[in-house]
Amino acid sequence: MDWLIIALLLLVAFGGVAYVLPSKFQRRVSQLRLEARQQGIFTSSRTIPDLDAEAEDRVTSGGKVRQREDLCVVYDLGYPSSVPNPPQWQLVRYKKSNLPIPGWLLRDNHLSGVELSDTNYWTTVASKIADMPKVCRSVLSHESGVSWIGIETKEAVVEGKFLGELTTSLGSLRDLNLSISESNRQGEGTK
């Protein structure tokens, strides 16, 4: 009987320790974020509205309308230096939207540094977004850089392609914005 009690106590003790240890996926995500920081991509978290949520997720059991938001991770790649008048916008995934890119909605209609009618720019942005890891919920272009906002899924992280795809697509989007900012600055200088 004493051995049974000792075995039970050891099982409870080791079970508790095993419960708080990070899983293989959590360790891989931590390593991924460290590698991203080493490449100049900083991470944080933010909630993003899920505009494509099902109807039952948009209403409480009491019948009150609610905004469905998901906690996402942000991978942010900054500009190399201060950039005058870079394009600023935020796109949120929304299947029913067609402007400025099919499947994406311009959040809060905030747009500066580029026009909505600039189809060449938005076509290029669409191709960059298509190259990003697939569980992207939002893409943000702000005064100090560009950001991918989404969910790190097991499939994407374990495959090992996540950071490579993200670095390439964010880098090319940043370069696009730098070229737009430079052409805007040169256009202002000739006026």
pLDDT by residue (tens digit) across 57-96? 778 778 888 778 889 999 999 999 888 889 999 999 999 9
Spell out a b/e string for 132-155, using b for 16 or more CB atoms within 10 Å of the CB, else e: bbebbbbbbbbeebbbbbbebeee
Q: Where is pLDDT greater, at 150 or 15?
A: 150
Distance of CA 186 to the CA centre of its chain: 31
The per-residue pLDDT for 75 is 97
Three-state DSSP at 44 gives strand
Per-residue pLDDT band for 191 (boundaries 50, 70, 90) equals very low
For residue 175, the number of C-alpha atoms closer than 13 Å in the C-beta half-sphere is: 8
**Contact between 150 and 104 (Cβ < 8 Å):** no
Q: What is the pTM of this model?
A: 0.84
The per-residue pLDDT for 190 is 46
Asked if pLDDT for residue 26 goes beyond 50, the answer is yes
Angle at 154 between CA 151 and CA 158, to 5 degrees: 120
The per-residue pLDDT for 18 is 66
Q: Residue 88 gets which letter from DSSP?
A: B
Per-residue pLDDT band for 101 (boundaries 50, 70, 90) equals very high
Burial of 14 (0-12, 13-18, 19+ CB in 10 A): exposed
For 132-171, the pLDDT digits (tens) are 988 999 999 999 999 999 999 888 787 788 999 999 999 9
* Number of residues assigned to the chain: 191
